[in-house]
Structure 1
């Protein structure tokens, strides 16, 4: 069907469901119904290509305008037919785009996110954000406990580009009398280099749960993954 065509008439039975099916490539993004008192419109709780319509009043009429996630629009006229001489009704209606532009849109990426999917994405994002906040809080608590346990031996006296560090996942660097520690949330484990006399060299370290433990004090070095790099330097002044 084309947006310019006269809307086709769908024959509906009193208190009977008629199922409207969009093309397999599309999902329902929104539904605009003329009469929502005498007609029931149900698209389900999850985004799909299906809409169920059901008239509650004999001889009633209305229309429905459907917008798909690909931006196609379909309009149908609905008529309850139980009072007709021929009371048969349509149990299923298959919709197909009627012009080339609408057909071409089926091959493209969706332009709308159905409300049900958007709510799901928002919930997942909120859950991920809450989980990240809980992880950061736990790490901060652990760090504070570590600081209080060893107040005289820990030194947080390193500096680095915080923007580059955030991109790589680096969160904190400190040392005690024997070791240097680097903590972060890394997508993959960066290589760790020590820089002496402006010459970098790979060094030995232990890595577990986002924590590097280096068996020496580092004055200068950097973390690197591919072209991403974060230099760090010891200032000698505790932060």
Structure 2
């Protein structure tokens, strides 16, 4: 009989303890809230010793600077768009400003009390205010940009070096490409041709003529007009000519490759 009474008392005590124990999920849910930030508003944060309050700013924000009125009794850290706030003294009060890359400044009033604290606070942007372009950049973003610029500059230097090497090689190789198969021309008026040659791609006629003649190419005995450019007294033809002539009125200067 005595044993039965003790069992009944133990069972009743266990029921009371179970009923009085709060669920952890409920306590966490109670510490979560959403607030709307305004340009001139200050958001109150309720903190508590041995608790950390997480502040989540809108997506896309990047916290660049943390300004706290009392660094001695408040431990604050920030990364990306999340800040963690933890008091180090009972009854401590101070203000907090979070400066972001968009140029927005989020202001908070921090208070430590024994009442239930804010565990997680989601900050929403002011309605109707569009997100602007970033006004500030983090050190990591600046370093990444500097690294990209350095890579581009290095690539540009490499390209310039390769171009200089190619030009030097071309200049060294070019004289060997010059061919003079047209023989030594007669220096006679009105054409005054000093020399004629080609480099495998272009034909050149060096002349002192004061009047510009027409240039013809002969193929299968039929003449056809050939366009050319004049560069400092040199006629530059964009092809290698085999046979042809210069014409000025009734006068002609004929040429033909002698070596094949």
How much is the aligned-residue C-alpha RMSD, in angstroms?
Answer: 3.6
* Consecutive aligned runs of 4 or more in structure 1 exceeding 4 Å deviation: 233-237
SS at match of 1:178: coil
Q: Which residue of 2 aligns with 1:8?
A: 43
Q: CA deviation at 1:236?
A: 7.3
Q: Which residue of 2 aligns with 1:52?
A: 84
From 27, 52, 66, the equivalent of 2:98 is 66
Alpha-carbon distance change, 152 to 37 in structure 1, aligned in 2, over 3 angstroms: farther
Alpha-carbon distance change, 235 to 64 in structure 1, aligned in 2, over 3 angstroms: farther
Contact 2:100-2:136 at 8 Å conserved across structures: no
Q: Which residue of 2 aligns with 1:96?
A: 124
Q: Higher relative CO (CA 8 A, sep ≥ 6), structure 1 or 2? A: 1
Q: Which residue of 2 aligns with 1:125?
A: 149
Contact 1:20-1:95 at 8 Å conserved across structures: yes
TM-score for the superposition, normalised by structure 1? 0.50
From 188, 199, 202, the equivalent of 1:177 is 199
- Unmatched segments (≥5 aa) in structure 1: 156-175, 181-196, 198-217, 221-232
Alpha-carbon distance change, 78 to 152 in structure 1, aligned in 2, over 3 angstroms: same
SS at match of 1:11: strand
Alpha-carbon distance change, 108 to 3 in structure 1, aligned in 2, over 3 angstroms: closer
Q: CA deviation at 1:74?
A: 1.8
Q: Which residue of 1 aligns with 2:75?
A: 40
Q: Max radius of gyration: which structure?
A: 2
Contact 1:29-1:112 at 8 Å conserved across structures: no
Q: How is 1:194-213 mapped onto 2 (pairs within 5 angstroms)?
A: none
In terms of fraction of residues, the more helix-rich structure is: 2
Distance 1:137 1:60 in 2: 64
Q: How is 1:151-230 mapped onto 2 (pairs within 5 angstroms)?
A: 152-153=175-176, 177-179=199-201
1:21 aligns with 2:53: no
TM-score for the superposition, normalised by structure 2? 0.47
From 107, 121, 135, the equivalent of 1:112 is 135
- Unmatched segments (≥5 aa) in structure 2: 1-36, 179-197, 203-213, 215-226, 235-260
Distance 1:62 1:154 in 2: 83
Q: Which residue of 2 aligns with 1:143?
A: 167
